[in-house]
Amino acid sequence: MKRALTAALLTLSVVCASESGWGDTPNRLDPVYQLKVDKYPKFQTEMVLKNGRKIRFCCVKSMLGFYFSPYRFPEYGVKESGEIDKMFVKDYLDGSRIDAKKAWYVFGSRLVGPHGDDLIPLSSKTRAELFVKRYGGTRIMEFGKLSAGLVRYLDM
């Protein structure tokens, strides 16, 4: 009986994870920081390569580190960011999945990510402004304003 119940729960969790779009990728550890990705669900991000492979990250800072320097991770076979098809982040306030290039990012908030200071993604500028009122923040930026230098600064 216990085995049947365990099998049913396992099947249900796999189905639910796959439907959410976040649990159907193979890597359990973040490629940049080697942290368990599932341990930080509010910060979790995902990248889809042009070859169809999906890579999960523990936070925005990690995904951007990979995006700006994919050649540092030869095990994924990505030499340049042009080989990346899509990137997804979660709106910090409601957990909805959004295109990373359409998200707004808060810099300098009181909130600390899985690996220290991080950028907090939100689905709109209005939501980012609401986030800043609650958690603080010194700047709100679009994806195009993010840079490798900013990621290095956050990692200091």
Assess if residue 76 is contained within a domain.
yes
Of 137, 66, 139, nearest in space to 100 by CA = 66
Does residue 69 form part of some domain? Answer: yes
What is the pTM assigned to this prediction? Answer: 0.82
Please, what is the Cα angle at 71 between 28 and 80, to 5 degrees? 105
Instruction: Quickly tell me which residue has 């700006």 as its tokens.
Output: 68
What is the domain range of residue 112?
22-154
- Calpha distance 44→35 (Å, rounded): 11
| Structural domain includes residue 122 | yes
- Cα separation, 119 vs 12, in Å, equals 33
Number of domains, the chain: 1
Residue 15 within a domain:
no
> Quick one: average pLDDT of 9-32?
57
- The residue ranking higher by pLDDT, 66 or 5, is 66
Taking residues 97-102, report their average pLDDT. Answer: 98
Asked, for residue 8, whether it belongs to a domain, the answer is no
Asked if residue 9 belongs to a domain, the reply is: no
| Any domain includes 17 | no
* Radius of gyration of the chain, Cα coordinates, nearest whole angstrom: 16
